[in-house]
Structure 1
Amino acid sequence: MEAVRPSLWNAPRAESPVLATVALPGSKSITNRALILAALGDGPSTLTGALRSRDTDLMIDALRALGTTVDAAADGTTLRVTPGSLRGGVVDCGLAGTVMRFLPPVSALADGAVRFDGDEQARTRPLGTILNALRRLGADIDGDALPFTVRGAGSLRGGSVTIDASGSSQFVSGLLLSAASFDEGVTVHHEGEPVPSMPHIDMTVEMLRQAGIEVSTPATGGGADTWHVRPGVIRAVDWVIEPDLSNATAFLAAAAVTGGEVTVPLWPARTTQPGDAIREILLTMGAEVRLEGSNLTVRGPRKLTGLDIDLHDVGELTPTVAALASLADGPSHLRGIAHLRGHETDRLAALAHEINALGGNAAETADGLTILPAELHGGTWRSYADHRMATAGAIIGLTVDGIEIEDIGTTAKTLPGFETLWATMLFETPKTERKASS
């Protein structure tokens, strides 16, 4: 049988500086955390502005399978979540790290066996850290990677556990989110290299506190690299979901690489989302960045400068930053991101390979990438079923002719309709502006 060839998307070239306002849907990270807390809450909760994407729909379907009622309003982004008695079922994780790492602790509280599986690529993602931690807290689990089964007993003892979370902050967040429902709560102590993406743990802690849960952290008396959640009632909360700032970074990058101007409305003045770091990154690379009220606007420079930056806490921004660096006029060194080798794909190897395939000069280092200036040419950009790899290729395609991106549809993981949003951004520039710029 002839192999099915992956679809290719012709990345549009910007004929002039991009001038647009782009409204982004809600944050995936906040939406999936809010869904977990709502499912474990003491009454119905409402999520307003929830993201509807493959990852969040997988979380919704999984919670429904376990006995939670999730009703969507006509707009699709307002969700009413009513907790129910947790039961056994089947969970499809797809490629969603939040599903495969946040739901096993919930499943340990279910009355019955919960079987987890996902996409073929997901079967190589590391899960032993959280599954072994749950075993030490009293859970009965068969398997150490997808597929695996959690044999829920209706409750979980909880207690103290030591883990190495240097591979992903999701191991810590996954344990903390359900911990108030454990008999003894949980104390999570990390031993190993520094935990990456700490803003995501800060997000988890802040949301737990909003739901009335007492949490001690390394900054509030939890001890070095120790988090403690006391057992208690998770209060029902009506969550208002912020726009997804990590998804916004590709659109802001469009202004930076074309010398244009892009505004993203409803940017929060204070947030735990790692995507907020794009402001400082773009400033470092020569762009003008201003936050006026709730509108964040980026104006691109005549030339992008390279940068030397530690992205350990904001690793999810690496594909966007690598795309920017490949178009900069100076060398860039991206550091602190060895953990990206365990994401949807080995993002470091993938980025280096795809940039070099277009004539670039990128090399892996022990904990990151070095990217030197080079003249890029057209070609195929592989996505590796990784949404952020796909959007990185789209950024490069704005200034390089002939970029064809494999499987752009993978962006639906966190941003359905990416292609339409991208095209709308490009064609929002008034025709008079296009002529003046040509």
Structure 2
Amino acid sequence: MAVASDDASPQAGREGQSDDRDASANERARESNRRYRQAHPDRHAASARRWKEAHPERVRELNRRWRAENLERSRELNRESMRRVAARKRRLTDKRRRANEASRRWKEANPERVRAYRREWVAANRDKVNEYYRRYHGRHREELNARATAWRDSQPEKMKHARKAWADRNKERTAEIQRKRRSDPEKYQADLAANAAERRLRVRLERAGLPPKRLHRTTAAERRSNERAKECYFDDPALPERLRQFTSFTVMLTELLTDQGDRMREFAEAYVATRARMGLPAVDAEQLMYARAAELVTRRMKRVDLLTGREVAAAVRSAKAAAASAVRVRQLNEVIGAVQEHVRRHHQRLRADADLENRLRVRKGKPQVLAELLVVRSALQEVLETSTKGRLPVATLLGRAEQIEAAVVAAGIWPLSPTGRVRASRQEAMEGSVTR
């Protein structure tokens, strides 16, 4: 054991001496490298860059190892780097701000020189300017088109004069466009046919004493304005409730005017007469009646907050027309009922008058008329000569005489004639009414 111990001691000493020599050699090598880097910084930087580019994985691995072994130092270096970057950005921003302020002050003080410089630069760099315009227009095509369209719509008179001036300056171009369109036979014939149809319609309306056609051409600006109004109306989220209120208001107003229109008109006329007796300013009874009806319907409805004045006026016009039509139908039915009742009560006398009328027509060489039709005509004439209170005007009833006669004859109210002949069929009555 002692011998072994003596042998190991010299070997350990030799190993310690070897480690010292290696450390000394490494230190000398590092010192030599440091002197070389200091003497040749550019060469060293280029060599290091080449090595890093040739060994990216090795560089990443060394960086990860160093950061893992020196985490706190790495974070401190990162914070210092961020502080330097932030300070550099602040310096650049402040420098740029001062330069911009100085440039702005100089431009404000020298506007003529600025305009001259810009003109010279644009003239010298026409290709760049055109390229800038093309790129900007390509990126903002829709925005520029919308802006130009809005300007044209807001300046209709200027655009009208501009189009006329262009046509005056480009008469040859205009003529060429027209010749090109007329060169297509189908388009040319379609234009001729449309013009001829419009002329024929105008002549027919003039001969019939009717007003000309009210349709007119609309410009693109008007169509765009209508389209915007339509989108604004139909995109309104409150539209369903608004339409519901308008429909309910119109229906209720129509029902009120149909059922109680006569009573409300009498009240309005009495109110107007009372104001006249008191020396107050006169008011229109019809307007008063519709205003009162609209007020009553508004009180009955739960919600009318979305209705505008124009919509209320439209509802009043619609209800007025519908109520007037319903009243005319009701009054016409009342007249038809009165004629039927008159025929039932005075059938014998009216039938005798009808037979006498036919005999007179035969003597004069005229064709006979269905006796039942003559009875109805006589009854209608006698009814019109009596009171017509609450009914349609006499002129209106005379204009609808054929309708009244056909309705009464078709009702089949005729008793058996003295000779036992059955009453006239509905088809014969209608044929007699048509041949009148």
Work out whether the TM-score is over 0.5. Answer: no
Provide the TM-score with structure 1 as the length reference: 0.17
TM-score (normalised: structure 2):
0.17
The structure richer in strand per residue is: 1
Q: Which has the higher contact order (CA 8 A, sep 6+)?
A: 1
